[in-house]
Amino acid sequence: MSTLPASTSTHSPLRWAVSDVLTIARRNLMTIVRIPTQMVFLIIQPIMFVILFRYVFGGVIKVPGNSYVNYLIPGILVQTTIFGSVGTAIGLAEDLQKGLIERFRALPMARLAVLAGRTVSDLFRNVLVLVIITGVGFLVGFRPGGGLVSYLQASLLMLIFAYCLSWGFAFIGLSAPNSEAAQAMTFPVIFPLTFASAIFVPVTSMPSWLQPFAINQPVSQTAIAVRGLMLGTAHGQSTWIALAWSFGAILVLAPLAVNRYRKTA
Amino acid sequence: MAGFDVVKQPNQVRRHIGLAGQNATVDENLTGFENLRMVGLLNHLNKAYVVAKSRQLLEDFGLSDAAHRTATTYSGGMRRRLDLAAALVANPPILFLDEPTTGLDPQSRQDLWSIIEHLVEGGTTVLLTTQYLDEADRLAKQLVVLDHGKIIAEGTSAQLKTQMGTTVLALSFASTDDALRAKPLLADLSTHSANIEGTVIELTVEDGPKITADALRRIDAAAISLNGLALREPSLDDVFLNLTGHKAEDTLMGDGAPEDRHGRKARA
């Protein structure tokens, strides 16, 4: 049956690990292309949020010192990447459910490539989201005043935060019995983080008991830093606070996810 | 395994084994070709080889036409073949098959059987677990019978069959009542207990012709009417029944553990 020479290439383990991560990431990204509803969800949902807040709620929301659309778009960027991370949880739960992780475990691939590949594909998807929302934002009147370099810095900050958070969603996905449960389990996490936050409205408009949480939680801090850089109104420390949250998050969440992965299946 | 320590050299072991099972673990959102390529790359084989090997396997397994369709469009048999193909991308010398034909239609089953036979001819060691004893009989050189997690017999199919007695005498009666009446008369003729199912009594006997004559005399003397009789070689089902006192399927239903009985096929 086989006349082909079996040829194992001789790369270093690290190079193979990178190759494994990219192979898995590519496979995850193919899902978006193959399942039209995922594509629609990815593109349509953020556009809906932009339109909803810009034109439906935006008329009554007043923000100090800037137009609401300028306030809104950086927030929507952060919100969308968090919503998108739910895909990490669902995808991993599905792979577990269907036995694909079992197959991966029987292969001589890098152990952690399944998780790293998932978070890396999330990262690619977030870059796409960033481009789409920036484009839609400009169409509805978004005019960031911070300059291109600051815009790119803000984008990078947002991507780092989303990447770190992905590990938490990976943990949820590996802990869930199936993909529906995974989706349900992410809800109590993302709902307070995105809505009790400085993403859509200034925290000062919220009841006083909610304000301490709403202003200090990591999503708000990241949204404030991203907005500050994009609009050119950044306070010196906000970027560093956001970065500290990101690295703090990955330091806690990645070991949790890895540990869960080792114990699962 | 394959000369490597499973604890100390897990990746060396992984490089030498292939795994395919009853839950065909293919990525439904990828095409057949993409599935094989992914597994090949994760096996750390070079790209040109992976592409060539994937095409060849798809052709060998009759999946060429479906190579560029996503696996969501595949039938159960096609998925099973793709799953097996994925296990073979890296040419593993040892292949583990976990109930490879469970739930397949007869044609797909035959197809998989000939693929497996072909692999064994090519020098692959196959370890397969199955609940179908005819499958074990056909494919396995060396069998291990498990019941409730314990090994209860081991050997070639021929050895197991000889071990239990040479012949099965099947007597068919006009009614269940007749069969029930005849059973106590015949019990001592068999080296093992007589097995009754509906109107048919099956006896495992050492000396077929002599016992047959005895049985007929006794049935005649009791004025029970006989519909028919047959002498046949024992099947592995008979072996299992004889060893455990219950049928293979009963075990499966009983504790829900499909790995309960294993037919093992190992190349010497």
The confidence band for B264, taking pLDDT boundaries of 50, 70 and 90, is very low
**What is the 3 state secondary structure string of B36-60?**
HHHHHHHCCECHHHHHHHHHHHHHH
Tell whether B249 lies on the interface with A, counting CB pairs under 8 A. no
Last residue of a domain, one of B104, B129, B154: B129
The confidence band for B260, taking pLDDT boundaries of 50, 70 and 90, is very low
Is the pLDDT reported for residue B121 higher than 80? yes
DSSP-assigned letter for residue B234:
P
Q: What is the mean pLDDT of residues B196-220?
A: 79
- Domain assignment present for residue B82? The answer is yes
Last residue of a domain, one of B110, B129, B148: B129
Is the pLDDT reported for residue B257 higher than 90? no
Domain of B192 in residue numbering reads as: 165-233
Q: What is the pLDDT of residue B164?
A: 65
Q: What does B96-152 look like in DSSP terms, one character per residue?
A: EEESTTTT--HHHHHHHHHHHHHHHHTT-EEEEE-S-HHHHHHH-SSEEEEETTEEE
Is the pLDDT reported for residue B198 higher than 60? yes
Q: What is the mean pLDDT of residues A11-36?
A: 87
Report CB contact under 8 Å: B44, A30.
no
Tell whether B41 lies on the interface with A, counting CB pairs under 8 A. yes
Tell whether B14 lies on the interface with A, counting CB pairs under 8 A. yes
- Look over chain A and give the mean of its residue pLDDT values, rounded to a whole number: 87
Q: What is the pLDDT of residue B52?
A: 93
* Stronger pLDDT, A13 or A150, i.e. the higher one: A150
Residues of A in contact with B6 (CB under 8 A): none
Is the pLDDT reported for residue B253 higher than 70? no
Quick one: what percent of chain A has pLDDT higher than 70? Answer: 96
Domain ranges of chain A: 13-263
Which residues touch B30 (CB under 8 Å, ≥6 apart)?
A27, A30, A34, B38, B70, B71
Query: Residue B198 corresponds to which tokens in the numbers above?
Result: 């509906």
- Domain assignment present for residue B260? The answer is no
B51: closest chain A residue by CA? A4
B40: closest chain A residue by CA? A107
B19-30 pLDDT, tens digit per residue, is 776 666 888 889
- Domain assignment present for residue B48? The answer is yes
Residues of B in contact with A38 (CB under 8 A): none
Task: Looking at the structure, tell me whether residues B32 and B103 fall in a common domain.
Answer: yes
pTM of the model: 0.75
Task: Looking at the structure, tell me whether residues B115 and B55 fall in a common domain.
Answer: yes
Q: What is the pLDDT of residue A9?
A: 59
CA distances for A134 relative to A43, A47, A82, A85, angstroms: 12, 10, 16, 19
Q: What is the mean pLDDT of residues B4-22?
A: 75
Q: What is the pLDDT of residue B252?
A: 39
Chain A interface test: which of B23, B25, B56, B61 (most A C-beta within 10 Å): B25
- Domain assignment present for residue B229? The answer is yes
- Domain assignment present for residue B268? The answer is no
Q: What does A115-138 look like in DSSP terms, one character per residue?
A: HHHHHHHHHHHHHHHHHHHHHHHH
The confidence band for B1, taking pLDDT boundaries of 50, 70 and 90, is low
Q: What is the pLDDT of residue A1?
A: 44
The tally of CA atoms less than 13 A away on the side-chain side of residue B77 is 14
Q: How far is B2 from chain A (nearest CA, A)?
A: 15
Q: What is the pLDDT of residue B204?
A: 77
Tell whether B68 lies on the interface with A, counting CB pairs under 8 A. no
Is the pLDDT reported for residue B235 higher than 80? no
Is the pLDDT reported for residue B122 higher than 50? yes
Q: Which run of H or E residues covers position A185?
A: helix A179-195
Query: Residue B162 corresponds to which tokens in the numbers above?
Result: 């000889």
The confidence band for A149, taking pLDDT boundaries of 50, 70 and 90, is very high
B129-177 pLDDT, tens digit per residue, is 888 777 887 787 888 877 777 777 777 777 777 766 667 778 888 888 8
Interface of B with A in 166-225 (CB under 8 A): none
Q: How many domains does chain B have?
A: 2
Which among A4, A102, A109 has the least Cβ separation from residue B49?
A: A4
A1: closest chain B residue by CA? B122
CA distances for A46 relative to A50, A73, A154, angstroms: 6, 10, 18
Q: How far is B119 from chain A (nearest CA, A)?
A: 8
A107-117 pLDDT, tens digit per residue, is 888 888 999 99
Q: How far is B41 from chain A (nearest CA, A)?
A: 7
The confidence band for B224, taking pLDDT boundaries of 50, 70 and 90, is confident
Report CB contact under 8 Å: B25, A103.
yes
Alpha carbon distance B28, B5 (integer Å):
34
Which among A23, A34, A106 has the least Cβ separation from residue B41?
A: A23
Size of interface A-B (CB pairs under 8 A): 84
Is the pLDDT reported for residue A166 higher than 80? yes
CATH of the domain at B40: 3.40.50.300
Is the pLDDT reported for residue B192 higher than 70? no
Range among A46-60, A150-164, B146-160 with highest mean pLDDT value: A150-164
Q: How far is B71 from chain A (nearest CA, A)?
A: 11
Q: What is the pLDDT of residue A22?
A: 93
The confidence band for A5, taking pLDDT boundaries of 50, 70 and 90, is very low
* Stronger pLDDT, A168 or B177, i.e. the higher one: A168
